Amino acid sequence: MSELRFDDVTVRYGRTAAVDGVSLAVPPGAVVGLVGESGSGKSTLARAAVGLAPIAGGRITLGGVPVPARGRSRPLQMVFQDPYSSLDPRMTVGASVAEAMPPGGSRADRRAEVERLLELVHLNPACAGAVPARLSGGQRQRVALARALAARPRVIVADEITSALDVSVQGAVLNLVRELQRELGLSMLFISHNLAVVRYVASHVAVMRRGRLVEQGPAARVLTEPGHEYTRELLAAVPGRTTRRSRP
Amino acid sequence: MQGRWTRVVRTPLGLTATVLVVAVVALAVLGPVLWGSGAGAVDTDAILAPPSAEHLAGTDNLGRDILLRVLVATRLSIVLALLAITIAVVCGLVLGSAPFVLGRRSGRLLAAGVNIAVAFPGLLLALFFAVVFGVGATGAVLAIGLAGAPAFARLTQTLVAGVVARDYVAAAQAMGIGRLRILVRHVLPNIAEPLVVNATIGAGSALLSFTGLSFLGLGVQSPSYDWGRLLYDGIATIYVNAAAALVPGAAVLLAGLAFNLFGESVAKGLGVPAGIGLGAVVPGRRAVPVDAPAPAGRTAAADRPSDVVLDVRDLEVTVPGPAGPVRPVRGVSFDVRRGEAIGIVGESGSGKSMTALAITRLLAGRGRVDAARLEFLGQDLLAPDTAVRRRTLGTTLAMVFQDPMTAFNPTRRIGAQLAEVATHHQGMTRRAAAARAVDRLAAVRIPDAPARVRQYPHEFSGGMRQRAMIGMGLMGSPALIVADEPTTALDVTVQQQVLDLLTAIRRADDVALVLISHDVTVVGEVCDRILVMYAGRIVEDLPAADLVTAARHPYTRALVDAVPDMTTDLAEPLATIPGRPVDPADVPRGCAYADRCPLAGARCRAEDPPLVAGPDGPPGHRVACWHAGEPLPAPAGRDYDELVESP
Amino acid sequence: MSATFIAPNPPAGPAGTRLRSRPWARFAVRRLRRLLISLWVLVTVSFAMIHLIPGDPVRGALGPTAPAELVEAQRHALGLDDPIVVQYLHYLKGLATGDLGTSLVSRLPVADVVAQRLPATLVLAVLAFLVAVAVAVPLGVVTGVLTRRGHGRRTELAFTTTSIIVATIPDFLLGVALVYVFGIELGWLPVAGNDTAPAYVLPVFSLAIGPAVILARIIRVEMVGVLEADFVRTARAKRLPARTIYAGHALPNAVTAALTVGGLLLSALVAGTVLVENVFAWPGLGSTIVRSILTKDYPVVQAIVLVYGVGVLITNLAVDVALALLDPRSKIRED
């Protein structure tokens, strides 16, 4: 396992810098939570990591080597926010997962691997033949996780993977993320606007605002003794925190 | 797949079009075989004869039978049109999908070229190419094919762009799959349907354009003839034998229509589910509470405390569905008192937003509302709309919607949209209304309100728009604000400001609030009382203070436990609710939650529990559960989440 | 508490003048750039036309039996024996000075031919456009309101079917049918030329009816869509009278959305004059271009293609400006 590092990364859209000189490390086997509001650049950073957004400055390395943005070997995989857009509606679940697997292996091997991955995300392997339309949002998100795992990544980037889900389903996906991290020792960059969700899955937390990183550190420290004014503001805005305060 | 295509044929229009297309194609195949020699037979005795029994459409200047020639010309006309549309589709497909394969720079150049070309009408391009390729059938095929290419390129571009924006393409790119392969595996299969439909419609247009060119003398040349050529010849003799022009014209029209109608009905058949109609809705009835006995002591009007702002009894909403009427709200009863804040929580599909639209009578045309009672400030909202009621509601009932980006009219200034309320309902002059709009924006703490009223919605940030929306409700003097997911689209810090603003307004003017949200923590923070909805019913009605500690319905408890907050135990897994929410079109017998409930027994599956206060609980805490308050069993281990057939 | 109410989002402060003046300038620059590029492409393409013709266009025009000296003289007259760059520059210079060359057939300056023929076409197109809009807007709005979600399924079916059928009828076929019915059978209206006011009726009608129906269809669809929009629900939540909701909130948005397609339709209408003019022997550019194509009078064809092209560009520009005026978002829209 190796460390994912962002060194002074800048991403520009036209004249505006969506990500502005961000340096961040995802240690092996750790889940780093990246929080921030919409437009803070956290999703752009994620897309840059997997080569979906061109970087204008800095470098992104994995174990000291630049992350490849071309070719078939992609050690970084991403899971997207919208489960209704992230699976090809015309492809069966099994085909979607198999497509991400490295080339090679017999047909039977590949099928066995698909089944293993589906079991890993708690889906009945029999659903490999189903099209996404038959799956619920939570199930689709688990297929997306299985697809990401199929590419045998060293790091997974999860971009707001629970924010489009109903609360009753969100819990199951979060439990799965924690379980995969524990059992597979997976490194993960976990992006969310929800501090409580990040607190639940991440060991480290980084806070972004307007393209810049304003604070990072161990989750326990950042969320209990925030060093930056903006982090404090975010924490104060978490609903439920103020329940006692505003009640007479 | 198969079912959708048969559905196309089942509509009367689709059937007609299909029959016509089949007939035209059969004629194209058989026409020259059957009548080829007859159509060429010269009869010098009957030159330019008018229609007669022998020649139904008369003859041309060589005495040849017009009708036979029209029938025989089918093949050439159709073949040329199909050739032309093939050229158009192939060129368009290549031009339209090339930008994706080529990548940013050259792609943009190509797209710009297509954009310029598509602005020029097809006929103009066809004339241009006709000059280049020369007069004649070959030239005309190339001309019409190439002239149609930009439109197909643009269509392909748009369709490709739509698919490429989907995350599955991004995922494939992140996997390192090449662009050409992505195009073939992911993009083309997903745009094939609209392309085929448009190509069918295009075939009809190509046929008509071809006729146009031939009509101008630029298409098929003698001695070959297609419908356009026959029309061209017929026009010359229109005063002698009008049928010589009218019959080929009618043939063109019929064939063109066949392709167009076929394409249109396929498009319709594939796009929208058939069979939706309000005719299927059950006849409306007023107030027959059968399955939901109203809670004791709360029915008679005399018992109602005078400070009730909104009184809802046995509210039902029925909307038409593909398989008969669906009832997303099934007997909801509650009241809201002056200054009280009620929260309605539930997952998507629980009927909470439908309830909000129903109690404010904004459902308009989307379904019908039945209730034993629906009163706002003592006014019966079930009665027909009148100007007086509009005025009352316009000034005393405020709405805040979920998406502040779309809730304002994008083409009008914010100030005008606020002022409208005052000019219509409060009889204010424009000037006074505008001044009040400034005042109200300032009241919802929008900085620099005098300048802001002159701006358009897109110049406001999301949070500001939502505050302006609240300000719009404050143009009158509201007794109730109904807010449907007002902060779901907002960032957390902005969400907090909006919630604080709603709380402040409520406190200051004793305004009642109905806050609808999927987020238990949000309603728990803002509201006094919480209604938990599941499958179109209220399953628990409890004081907000009891939500975390004293909820009695297993659904409410699971909902609270499933959401992590800043104090969640990191060592424990989160609670989950197995299965899927109930489909409103297929609500099971008994308790709707039974299938997902760890406590469910035989009675739950047979009898729907009423919403009642517990025997030992406080009267303000009602719950609809046969096993209310029983301890929940420990969550099951890791098992599969079974696939559920979607509706 | 009030401290938390200060908007943290960037567009704060008196943004008025800054937001209003600059976007218009940017819009004008962007639009002008696009117009110039399109114009250059158009001019180049019309220049290239004669060079794209396979084989020898002069030989093709004069026929295989023409003497070699005549072909050579003609080629020289057209400037075709110069290097292509020189020809191109010559062509651009000619355009700049209003010199469009000389007709091979009539030997008249092409500019004079165009000037003489253009007004008739222009009048026909403008009249047809006005009629189309005057029919389409009320028809589209009314059917849109009648068939809004949950209403008028039968009306919708009838309207859609009728409109598809009517829109399929090409203008020249409609023209032929009208000539037959009103000109030949009934003898009510003249069927050729543009000498009298009644002579305008049939050409304008046959040109306008197709676009009118298509435009009405688009407006209906937009209207139905807009009536479903959140802001219309907001307007209903304000309890405004129906008339205000339809005319004040829905219509401007529906028309704005329909305008983009309407622009394409208008350009198609300009081109549609070619066929209709040929049906009614209308003394405009359309009948001239067809005759010139058949007689291989390339300078005339080139010039008329250019004129039609410029007409299309102007139409598009007008639509874009109208959109920018009607829709406040488009001013600052980047494309």
Query: What pLDDT digit, counting tens, does each position of A124-178 carry?
Result: 888 888 888 888 888 888 899 999 999 888 899 999 898 888 877 888 889 888 9
Task: Search chain C and give the residue with CA nearest B256.
Answer: C168
The region of weakest confidence among A61-65, B586-590, C108-112, C189-193 is C189-193
Which residues from C are below 8 Å from B488, CB to CB?
A: none
CB contact under 8 A, C249 and B412: yes
Task: Provide the pLDDT confidence category of residue B270 given band limits of 50, 70 and 90.
Answer: low
Measure Cα distances from B409 to A105, B421, C9 in Å.
57, 14, 22
pLDDT exceeds 50 at position B182:
yes
What residue ranges define each of the domains in chain B, with the CATH number in brackets?
A: 2-43+55-270 (1.10.3720.10), 303-534 (3.40.50.300), 544-647 (no CATH)
Which residues, in sequence order, are bridge partners of residue B334? B312
Task: Search chain C and give the residue with CA nearest B214.
Answer: C275
Residue-level pLDDT at C56: 73
In this complex, which of B13, B121, B493 lies closest to C270 when CB atoms are compared? B121
Task: Provide the pLDDT confidence category of residue B333 given band limits of 50, 70 and 90.
Answer: very high
The string of pLDDT tens digits covering residues B115-155 is 888 878 888 888 888 888 888 888 889 888 988 898 889 88
Which residues from C are below 8 Å from B424, CB to CB?
A: 238-241, 244
- Number of Cβ within 10 Å of residue A103's Cβ equals 6
Residue-level pLDDT at A184: 87
CA separation for the pair B160, C78 (Å, rounded): 45
Q: Which of B5-19, B98-112, B151-165 has the highest mean pLDDT?
A: B151-165
Residue-level pLDDT at A82: 87
CB contact under 8 A, B493 and C8: yes
CA separation for the pair B446, B434 (Å, rounded): 15
Check if C41 contacts B (Cβ < 8 Å).
Answer: yes
pLDDT exceeds 80 at position B332:
yes
pLDDT exceeds 50 at position C7:
no
Residues C276-292 as b/e (b if ≥16 CB within 10 A, e otherwise) read bbbbbebbbbbbbbbbb
Residues B495-515 as b/e (b if ≥16 CB within 10 A, e otherwise) read bbbbbbbbbbbbeeeebbbbb
CB contact under 8 A, A239 and B640: no
CA separation for the pair B124, B129 (Å, rounded): 9
ipTM confidence: 0.85
CB contact under 8 A, B406 and C309: no
In this complex, which of A142, A200, A247 lies closest to B568 when CB atoms are compared? A200
- The helix/strand/coil state of A213 is strand
Q: At residue C167, what are phi and psi to the nearest 5 degrees?
A: -70, -25
Task: Provide the pLDDT confidence category of residue C226 given band limits of 50, 70 and 90.
Answer: confident
- Number of Cβ within 10 Å of residue C321's Cβ equals 13
Tell me the percentage of chain B whose pLDDT exceeds 90.
17
- List B residues 312-371 in contact with A (Cβ-Cβ < 8 A): 347-348
Residue-level pLDDT at B219: 83
Residue-level pLDDT at B647: 33
Q: Which residue is associated with the tokens 């469910």?
A: B600
- List A residues 33-72 in contact with B (Cβ-Cβ < 8 A): 37-38, 47, 50-52, 68, 70-72
The string of pLDDT tens digits covering residues B522-534 is 888 889 999 999 9
Average pLDDT, stretch B10-38? 83
Residue-level pLDDT at B289: 37
Check if B175 contacts A (Cβ < 8 Å).
Answer: yes
Higher pLDDT, B479 or B631: B479
Mutate to test the interface with B, among A82, A90, A168, A201 (most CBs of B within 10 A): A168
pLDDT exceeds 90 at position B345:
yes
Quote the distance between the C-alpha of residue B355 and its chain's center: 20
The string of pLDDT tens digits covering residues B478-496 is 999 999 988 887 888 888 8
The region of weakest confidence among A195-209, B272-286, B487-501 is B272-286
Measure Cα distances from C292 to C113, C172, C193, C298 in Å.
11, 20, 19, 7
Tell me the percentage of chain A whose pLDDT exceeds 90.
38
Check if B184 contacts A (Cβ < 8 Å).
Answer: no
Task: Provide the pLDDT confidence category of residue C331 given band limits of 50, 70 and 90.
Answer: low
What residue ranges define each of the domains in chain A, with the CATH number in brackets?
A: 1-75+153-225 (3.40.50.300), 87-152 (no CATH)
The string of pLDDT tens digits covering residues C97-145 is 888 888 877 778 888 888 888 898 888 888 998 898 889 888 988 888 8
pLDDT exceeds 70 at position C18:
no
pLDDT exceeds 70 at position A235:
yes
- The helix/strand/coil state of B513 is strand
Task: Provide the pLDDT confidence category of residue B279 given band limits of 50, 70 and 90.
Answer: very low
CB contact under 8 A, B455 and C19: yes
* DSSP-derived secondary structure letter, A135: S
- Number of Cβ within 10 Å of residue B48's Cβ equals 14
pLDDT exceeds 70 at position B273:
no
Which residues from B are below 8 Å from C33, CB to CB?
A: none
Mean pLDDT of chain A: 87
pLDDT exceeds 80 at position B63:
no
Mean pLDDT of chain B: 82
In this complex, which of B173, B558, B642 lies closest to A168 when CB atoms are compared? B558
pLDDT exceeds 90 at position B596:
no
CA separation for the pair B326, B281 (Å, rounded): 8
CA separation for the pair B21, B10 (Å, rounded): 15
CB contact under 8 A, A197 and B564: yes
Which residues from C are below 8 Å from B497, CB to CB?
A: 4-5
In sequence order, the 6+-apart residues with CB closer than 8 A to the CB of C295 are C61, C104, C105
CB contact under 8 A, C176 and B238: yes
Q: Contact partners of A by the rule of 3+ C-beta pairs under 8 A?
A: B
Residue-level pLDDT at B94: 92
Which residues, in sequence order, are bridge partners of residue A156? A77, A188
- List B residues 580-619 in contact with A (Cβ-Cβ < 8 A): 580-581
Q: Contact partners of C by the rule of 3+ C-beta pairs under 8 A?
A: B
In sequence order, the 6+-apart residues with CB closer than 8 A to the CB of B2 are none
* DSSP-derived secondary structure letter, A89: T
CA separation for the pair B168, C60 (Å, rounded): 55
CB contact under 8 A, B644 and A76: no
Measure Cα distances from C258 to A58, B175, C140, C213 in Å.
46, 41, 10, 13
Q: Which of B467-476, B565-574, C193-202 has the highest mean pLDDT?
A: B467-476
Residue-level pLDDT at B543: 92
- List C residues 208-247 in contact with B (Cβ-Cβ < 8 A): 229-231, 233-241, 244
pLDDT exceeds 80 at position B297:
no
Residue-level pLDDT at B284: 35
Residue-level pLDDT at B1: 47
pLDDT exceeds 90 at position A6:
yes
Check if C14 contacts B (Cβ < 8 Å).
Answer: yes
In this complex, which of A86, A90, A235 lies closest to B190 when CB atoms are compared? A90
Which residues from B are below 8 Å from C7, CB to CB?
A: 446-447, 461, 463-464
In sequence order, the 6+-apart residues with CB closer than 8 A to the CB of C89 are none
pLDDT exceeds 80 at position B214:
yes
For the entire predicted model, the pTM comes to 0.79
Check if B493 contacts A (Cβ < 8 Å).
Answer: yes
Residue ranges with strand state E in chain A: 4-13, 16-26, 31-35, 57-62, 65-66, 76-79, 155-159, 187-192, 204-209, 212-218
Structure tokens at B244: 């010589």
Average pLDDT, stretch C9-29? 53
Residue-level pLDDT at B355: 92
Q: Which of B97-101, B318-322, C14-18 has the highest mean pLDDT?
A: B97-101
Mutate to test the interface with C, among B359, B411, B505 (most CBs of C within 10 A): B411
Q: Contact partners of B by the rule of 3+ C-beta pairs under 8 A?
A: A, C
CB contact under 8 A, B211 and C11: no
- List C residues 112-171 in contact with B (Cβ-Cβ < 8 A): 148-151, 153, 157, 160-161, 164-165, 168-170
Residue-level pLDDT at B282: 33
The string of pLDDT tens digits covering residues B363-402 is 876 688 999 999 998 889 888 888 888 888 888 999 998 8
Instruction: Tell me: cis bond preceding B647? Omega within 30 of 0 counts.
Output: no
pLDDT exceeds 60 at position A247:
no
Helices B104-118 and B66-102 meet at what angle, rounded to 10? Answer: 150
Closest CA–CA distance from residue B137 to any residue of chain C (Å)? 14
Closest CA–CA distance from residue C97 to any residue of chain B (Å)? 24
- Topology of domain C117-294 in CATH is MetI-like fold (1.10.3720)
Check if A151 contacts B (Cβ < 8 Å).
Answer: yes
The string of pLDDT tens digits covering residues C265-324 is 777 888 888 888 888 888 888 888 888 888 888 888 888 888 888 888 888 888 888 887
Higher pLDDT, C19 or B325: B325
CB contact under 8 A, C239 and B425: yes
Which residues from C are below 8 Å from B121, CB to CB?
A: 264, 267-268, 270-272, 312
Helix, strand, coil shares, percent, chain C, to 5:
75, 0, 25
Residue-level pLDDT at B298: 39
Instruction: Name the pairing type of β-strands B512-517 and B480-484.
Output: parallel
CB contact under 8 A, B409 and C235: yes
pLDDT exceeds 60 at position A248:
no
